[in-house]
Amino acid sequence: MIQVTVKESSNRVSFFEMSGHADYAEHGQDLVCAGASAVSFGAVNAIMELTRIEPVIEQADSGFLKVAFPEGLDEKTDEQVQLLVRAMIVSLKTIEQDYGKYIKITFTA
């Protein structure tokens, strides 16, 4: 199962972390894993390209991804980052609604 943890406080997402594998299908044919990966990497790439910020990214071959967003950004940039990361969360929730046996999203304060 893919575990997604979103750290949110004061209505601001400070980081998200994904780990595990969906095991929905064979490697290379796992639509849940491919969808979650595409959504998360697409969002991170969009954040970097459109806001010009450099989040702190940790990644491992084992299916681990952690992305932390810097504090102290100007208000407009932070709003843009938050909008993009929240769009990613909406997409991941959509996957979770249909494939909840294979992906779980948890929010922490």
Catalytic (active-site) positions? 21, 33
If residue 67 lies in a helix (H) or strand (E), which one and from where to where? strand 64-68
The dihedral region occupied by 57, where left means phi > 0, alpha psi between -120 and 50, and beta the remainder, is beta
Instruction: Report the C-alpha gap between 1 and 102 in whole angstroms.
Output: 5
Per the document, the length of the chain is 109
For 52, other C-beta atoms within 10 Å of its C-beta total 9
Q: Is 44 helix (H, G, I), strand (E, B) or coil?
A: helix
